[in-house]
Amino acid sequence: MEATAIKARLEDAHPEHLSLRGHYEFMRQAYEGGWDYIRDQIFRHGPRETHADYIRRLERAVYPNYCRPVIRTYRNHVFRFGDRIGRNIGDDAYQRWARSDVDRRGSDANHFWSCVATLELLYGWAGVLVDMPRPSEGVRSAADQQSPDQMPYFVLVPPTAIVDWGMDEFGALEWIRIEEAHNGATDPFASRVDRKRYRIWTRSEWMLLDGGGDVLDGGEHSLGVVPFVPIRFEESVQHELAGVSFMSDFARINRMIANSVSLRDGFLAKNMLQILTMQVNFMAEAGNDTDVSQSLQDGSMLEYPPDAKAPSFIAPDVAGVEWALAHAEELRWELYRIATQKDIRSEGQMRGASGLSKMLDFEEQNAALALFADGLERAETQATKLWFAWRGLPWDDAWLIDYPDNFQIRSLEADLALALQVREAYGDASPSFVSRYLRQLGGRLVDDLGERERRVFAEELDANLTPQRDAEPEKGARV
């Protein structure tokens, strides 16, 4: 293929990627906020608003960002207790690598996969490339090969950089093309020239090309697959590679709230100074042949006849802004519903609900988090298998990467109240169940327990539960 044809092919992109470019940019700006988003994406001229009023409103505008805190909350529920993520893999080199630097940027495994989770929630999907550095000239021994700079590593690839790909009839990748930004400045005094590069991976080789189609680097590999793992928040029925974003509707509602807040701000700015009206004409009463004048200044006093109507202010009609306020509140409720998987407006009803109904409601939120964590667990397992394949080592099916399934999202007050009901309902039927529940609750109350302390507490619970239950009189029995 001629150089011009290669260059044209590199500048082309997959139809799916082209259709989602605008969506990706909107989601990025909704997450990061900033002046560019406020100026270009959020606000439009209001009805009968002059351009000057619009500019003044834009200068005062703020973006109440709900997107970033929600993504941070979901991500932190999974990764805030890093020791709860089990990586039970019997390979010392892997354990050292996972605890120190998995991406050649100093990130341990938990931090790297939390960054993956952020992009997955925001865009609906992300990719992890598993790459292998070229062997250094001084690498000869097995110990040299296990040094950190000779290990395979993960590369987080945002959807914005995954520009083209091909799949077989079963939906497995045959090749993928990733766009990279490269400034070419090798020292601080060199001229900065931003250039695009393209990295292409197939099932048997890889190559790095510049924007003109010239091959800069490349080589073969023996993996037999494209070493790329897509991670989707939810499968799409329309797209073959991209997933469905958790934040897509959320970000648009957030933009509507920002517009509503800004319009109310513009109304207040224009109507804070009210107009005073008076019934009596002082100049007419004073006569036309006099030089008497009436003036109003700060702190001055104005007298009017006792039989006249008192002065009054002309107040603006606030019905529109009240409606806008109510509309913004409805939008906020909708944000809360999406974020928490429930209608928080029923919170008052929940307070009077039974412990079982509360538990079921919390379980719905926990199930959403567990499904999110399961997707990360599968993706990390696939990527880690590729990591071992690069090293030429087999994967032991007994090895396990295990993300938590219970995220303890109930409040401590709710858990303590529920513990009493669990004790009453299951104490006679299953002391072991009660003991396990109380041990989990104790872990929440004191989350820095050592292994020895946990074991002692568990033994005390098991030892005291049955005698305490047997000591309680049966209902209707005489004491």
User: What mean pLDDT do residues 208-225 have?
Assistant: 93
Helix (H) / strand (E) element for 189: namely: none
46 lies in some domain: no
126 lies in some domain: no
The pLDDT of residue 141 is: 47
Q: Which residue has the higher pLDDT, 186 or 377?
A: 377
Which of 58-62, 80-84, 299-303, 433-437: highest mean pLDDT?
58-62
Answer yes or no: is pLDDT of 356 > 60: no
The pLDDT of residue 352 is: 45
The pLDDT of residue 262 is: 84
Lowest-confidence region among 192-196, 300-304, 366-370, 422-426? 300-304
Query: Could you tell me the CA-to-CA distances from 413 to 349, 420, 444, 445 in Å, in that order?
Result: 17, 11, 11, 11
The pLDDT of residue 268 is: 77
The pLDDT of residue 279 is: 64
Query: Could you tell me the CA-to-CA distances from 129 to 40, 173, 175, 241, 341 in Å, in that order?
Result: 33, 13, 12, 15, 32
259 and 331 share one domain: yes
The pLDDT of residue 211 is: 87
pLDDT over 70 percentage in the chain? 73
Query: Could you tell me the CA-to-CA distances from 48 to 20, 61, 197, 326 in Å, in that order?
Result: 34, 19, 48, 22
Lowest-confidence region among 121-130, 247-256, 420-429? 420-429
Q: Which residue has the higher pLDDT, 99 or 81?
A: 99
The whole-angstrom separation of Cα 346 and Cα 364 is: 15
Tens-digit pLDDT profile for residues 153-171:
999 999 999 999 999 999 9
CB atoms within 10 A of CB 392: 7
342 and 418 share one domain: no
342 and 419 share one domain: no
The residue type of 82 is G
Lowest-confidence region among 86-100, 136-150, 464-478? 464-478
Lowest-confidence region among 343-357, 370-384, 454-468? 343-357
Tens-digit pLDDT profile for residues 261-289:
888 887 777 776 667 776 655 545 544 54
Answer yes or no: is pLDDT of 353 > 80: no
User: What mean pLDDT do residues 194-214 have?
Assistant: 92
Residue 468: pLDDT band by 50, 70, 90 thresholds?
A: very low
* Nearest one of 134, 87, 179, 22 to 383, comparing CA atoms: 87
- Give the range of the structural domain holding residue 449, as residue numbers without chain letter: 412-479
User: What mean pLDDT do residues 47-62 have?
Assistant: 86
**Residue carrying structure tokens 């100093």:** 106
Mean pLDDT of the chain: 80
Answer yes or no: is pLDDT of 145 > 80: no
Answer yes or no: is pLDDT of 64 > 80: yes
The pLDDT of residue 148 is: 67
* Domain final residue, candidates 348, 363, 386: 348
User: What mean pLDDT do residues 239-257 have?
Assistant: 93
Answer yes or no: is pLDDT of 219 > 90: yes
268 lies in some domain: yes
167 lies in some domain: no
Overall domain count for the chain: 2
65 lies in some domain: no
Surface-to-core class of residue 190, CB atoms within 10 Å of its CB (0-12 exposed, 13-18 middle, 19+ buried)? exposed
341 and 255 share one domain: yes
Surface-to-core class of residue 175, CB atoms within 10 Å of its CB (0-12 exposed, 13-18 middle, 19+ buried)? middle
| Beta carbons of 189 and 170 less than 8 angstroms apart | no
Q: Which residue has the higher pLDDT, 422 or 4?
A: 4
Q: Which residue has the higher pLDDT, 451 or 358?
A: 451
Q: Which residue has the higher pLDDT, 88 or 428?
A: 88
The pLDDT of residue 101 is: 94
264 and 339 share one domain: yes
264 lies in some domain: yes
The pLDDT of residue 43 is: 83
DSSP β-bridge partners for residue 156: 128
Q: Does pTM surpass 0.85?
A: no
The pLDDT of residue 311 is: 74
Answer yes or no: is pLDDT of 142 > 60: no
SS3 content of the chain, % helix, strand, coil (to 5): 50, 15, 35
The whole-angstrom separation of Cα 48 and Cα 50 is: 6
25 lies in some domain: no
263 and 339 share one domain: yes
Tens-digit pLDDT profile for residues 374-424:
999 999 999 999 999 999 999 999 999 999 887 766 555 566 666 677 767
User: What mean pLDDT do residues 329-345 have?
Assistant: 74
Answer yes or no: is pLDDT of 471 > 60: no
Angle between helices 51-60 and 248-271 (to 10 degrees): 110
464 lies in some domain: yes
